[in-house]
Structure 1
């Protein structure tokens, strides 16, 4: 009772580290006794009996509707026993599981009573100043102990895992160094129960405990940091712990909506993405949950802004972090593209940056937005212009200097093609560019280019749907037509002869008008056919003479060819070829 009265005069200030509670400050609560491990075991046993008695009394008062007595029954123990639970935190690394479990069960039982007690108190119309101050101290003290225990358990269990709970041996076998005391310790279940308690207490109008009614940032961070700490465990990404991830983001959603935690949350998510690769998909799913369940639209733009303003040199140096940013943003865009679209201006600058991973990220987001938002038939002018801009960027980066980016862009185009999201007016141009990529120096680019060409052919909107048999029949007909045109029905020698004769006929048709003009000039001038300027026939055979005439005609020396012809007629009179 004396301690409780003292607590009406001192305030519990949430410390940034445990040591601050050991320092005595005027008007602030400080820890007087840090018990040793041997002392703790007995203290916790005595405390457990006291807490369970308080809780039993609390239940009686609750069901008998003695509201004025409830606040005195189940939660005041923390004012006398805070030092004991604080000592558990101090010795957490050295303490065995049985002692830690005692402390854990006590704070869980007490926090459950706190939630119920606050619910009753807030139902009252008036909350006097003394009760308000005391319940604020109790709430902060219990929340501090609970959240610090949660984080300490996370550290202890992760340390045991890293020290070889499961160790790969050289022969491929696994041996376990896991202590027997942890065999039946289901931390996931215990952690989830604790988060549910935190979620339940956040449903209450806790702001009423503060004056003015605005919860202090340190209190909000206590709860939020427990969520972030739990996410550091790689196991959180497994499908079986989806329920736990959803609980984390339900808590964060309340903190953002009611306690102004949005900006801090976005900074923390960026930090987690940078450090923990396993969180890419869980965090993306969590952001989608925050948007859909709590309407936290602003956090999306804040995240895009933080990533978009990251210096290009930092993105190049931190390749794993950049890859995490990229995968995270693309996954968010797949689910809520309508919130990424207004913030695209913050990302497009990276298309000309040196980080190929960020170029892939921005292009991937553009592809998702085109596919999910800008592929409708009834787009307005602004949406159509934006779609064309995105497609222009995708078209330009088919020739990106980095092969990974070229592969990514080809994959985006293939998906757009399969979903029939490429405007007809652009398909021909894209196909020409893709065919050019078939000669790329990268084998992966060639492979994806071939797949895209195949997708274009399979999805050709102008192609008739013909069966294979019909196509084969049509092909056979066309081959027969070609053979007839080329004279393939005769021998090879006859075919060549027909081609040669056809070519000569075409050549004669072309030069016939000019030859006619030359002959007319001869007739008009009255020149005798056997007169001067005649070419002396140098060939001994008719065939050679005719070949020489053909050459002269081919060289367009028509007058010389005429006189050679006249002389040939004289030299070989009556020849059949003449």
Structure 2
């Protein structure tokens, strides 16, 4: 055969030539002549093997083109011939590929026969699949279950025949068939031919049934070979995503396929690629595709938790939006080796710093739930405390992770932080942190302690108030020292810490406005002192030019200057105190006044029932509550700071 067989995009393309020396179908045979030509194909195959297709391609092509009009027996004979052709070629090709004396024309013949047989076989598989699916729909039993379909002869079982055909294709693709191509690289059209057939099979709703187990396994192995040997990693990743978005029956099937690729073919990296694509593309959690992706990930977590774990942060937000999510993470982190304290803490630490804000919120919800159900054991909490206090060797990043995870656990059980509060603020806000200017750890410490505010103190009568600490508690001294010690620091992490510190004071202090007023006073004094120190700096070695500049800076007629970050720190702190004061009035003072008023009204009702209410008491009860005035010191401070800024 001197021409080249080009795998078509559309079947009709084989009826016309697109370029010189391209194979073209000479004739689509009439249905009545097919039996005769199939018999001739059989005889040629017996004598010349799979190369018989070079002269008889038009016969199976004609069967394929008129498939619905062809008798079932002829359909089955054609399928059987093509399966045998591919199988025989698989046996012959090793010797052909190793033959160094093989002529280019003979190599081209084998390449053409290979492409022809694979094209016809995959197309026939799809044709049988389509026909079988339509017959299943037309033969649904009285309880909604399809009857098993056989040909008129009763000997043909499509499920078994399909699995066998896929296994034969897999056997062929295990060979180094790329050496048949001139450049040693399998053409993209050939790879797409195989993978498209696999995807078509997976689209069938019955693929998940027990009877199709052999087919599912064959498809998984066929795609595994394509990924490993034919550079189909990206294509397979996109195929998985697309199938999940359109077919609700596929999550368990695809989860098993991906498991096969990762475990039997060593393709662990594709798990991360698929998770990355899902995390990047599934923003809408209400879509069917997003739900299918979540089910798929949960199924995958059940099978290969250790492979999923390093990439779980990529899809954490999606899983939180769907289920079986708690179970998935339970399998990932709380079963087997993963549940050991050292391993669990290490995994959660890695997950924590590889997540975005939404994913961290989801992780906090999961950790708190596990703590509430006692699934995170005390040994894990103990290890976190030991990391924070450096009783075990830990890096600064691991210390931060420890305090963040302790805060997450405290959401489920506030006593985790409450029982070790002194340890937490001594370590997280102590002299060493201030000396190292580790304001990220200080901020995370404040956020963890803030979980205590979720606790409620029960009062007589069934009402409850938020947990509060007295204003002279040592926690607030550590907060004040940490904020003021770093006030002049240029660290970009100081302001987030100061915001968290101010918020914590308003969360836990009985008199937050007074404490924060004092804090602002200290910061304003530091600002003034810093300005005076700059003016009184002793002269140092300097050139003539710098001396002139220095003289200008200290000239009485010139305005005072300060580093921008110091002034910015003060303004940011004042602004956050003002915000927290407003929220404090709305959330704490207002509800407390309402609670007291309700208590007075309840007492009045009780006294009325006893007939002891006086006119004066009734009058006082109905007087409007005295409006809460902001702390005088705080107002004075804000005015002072404003004037100081204007002067500067």
Give the TM bin, normalised by the shorter chain.
Answer: 0.5 to 0.7
1:460-497 CA-to-partner distances (Å, cap 9, x unmatched) read xxxxxxxxxxxxxxxxxxxxxxxxxxxxxxxxxxxxxx
TM-superposed deviation, 1:183: 4.2
**Partner residue, 1:554:** none
Q: 1:174 to 1:209 in 2, by over 3 A?
A: closer
Shift of the 309–361 alpha-carbon distance from structure 1 to 2, 3 Å rule, reads farther
Q: Following the alignment from structure 1 to structure 2, what is the Cα–Cα distance between the partners of residues 382 and 409?
A: 14
CA distance in 2: counterparts of 1:266 and 1:421, whole angstroms: 40
Compared with structure 1, are the counterparts of its residues 393 and 16 closer, same or farther at alpha carbon in structure 2 (3 Å cutoff)?
closer
Q: What pairs up with 1:394-473 in 2 under 5 angstroms?
A: 417=375, 423=381, 430-431=412-413
- Gap change, CA 1:337 and 1:22, over 3 Å in 2: same
CA separation in 2, counterparts of 1:415 and 1:131?
70
Q: 2:85 aligns with which of 89, 106, 110?
A: 110
Question: Compared with structure 1, are the counterparts of its residues 281 and 416 closer, same or farther at alpha carbon in structure 2 (3 Å cutoff)?
Answer: farther
2:158 to 187, 193, 206: 187
Please give the alpha-carbon distance, in whole angstroms, between the structure 1 residues aligned to 2:109 and 2:360: 66
The match for 1:139 among 114, 130, 153 is 114
Indicate whether 1:370 and 2:333 are aligned: yes
Match of 1:50 among 33, 44, 48: 44
Aligned equivalents of 2:263, 2:149: Cα separation in 1 = 41
Match of 1:209 among 172, 180, 184: 180
- Residues 128 and 394 of structure 1, relative CA distance in 2, 3 Å threshold: closer
Given that 1:48 and 1:102 are in contact with CA atoms closer than 8 Å, whether structure 2 keeps it comes out as no
Provide the rounded CA distance (Å) in 2 between the counterparts of 1:14 and 1:150.
16
TM-score (norm 1): 0.60
Confirm or deny: 8 A CA contact 2:369 2:412 kept in the other structure.
no
In structure 1, the residue matched to 2:7 is 14
Provide the residue aligned with 1:264 in structure 2: 235
Q: CA deviation at 1:266?
A: 1.1
Deviation at 1:20, TM superposition (A): 0.6
Between the aligned partners of 2:373 and 2:94, the Cα distance in structure 1 is 53
Long gaps (5+) in structure 2: 386-405, 416-648
Q: Secondary structure in 1 aligned to 2:69?
A: coil
Aligned to 2:27: 33
TM-score by length of 2: 0.54
Counterparts of 1:81-480 in structure 2, within 5 Å, are: 81-162=56-137, 164-168=138-142, 181=152, 183-313=154-284, 315-316=285-286, 318=287, 320-348=288-316, 350=318, 356-357=321-322, 360=323, 365-372=328-335, 374-379=338-343, 383=347, 385-386=349-350, 417=375, 423=381, 430-431=412-413
User: Could you tell me whether the CA contact under 8 Å between 2:237 and 2:273 is conserved in 1?
Assistant: yes
Deviations 1:69-120 (A, max 9, x none): xxxx212210111011100110012222112012112212222221122122
Distance 1:274 1:19 in 2: 30
Matched residues in 2 for 1:327 and 1:248: separation? Answer: 21
Tell me: CA distance 1:178–1:220, structure 2 relative to 1, closer, same or farther (3 Å). Answer: closer
Structure 1 residues 311 and 179, CA, compared in 2 at 3 Å: closer, same or farther? closer
Task: Compare CA radii of gyration and give the structure with the larger one.
Answer: 1
Q: Quick check: 1:285–1:332 contact (8 Å CA) kept in 2?
A: yes
C-alpha spacing 1:325/1:175, structure 2 compared with 1 (3 Å): closer
Mind listing any 5+ residue stretches in structure 1 that lack a counterpart? Answer: 1-6, 55-72, 401-407, 434-578
With over 3 angstroms needed to count, the CA separation of the structure-2 counterparts of 1:271 and 1:49, relative to structure 1, is same
- Name the CA distance, whole Å, in 2 between partners of 1:416 and 1:278: 35
- 1:323-343 deviations in Å (ceiling 9; x for gaps): 210011122123323332332
C-alpha distance in 2 between matches for 1:173 and 1:334: 31
Equivalent pair of 2:371/2:413 in contact (CA under 8 Å): no
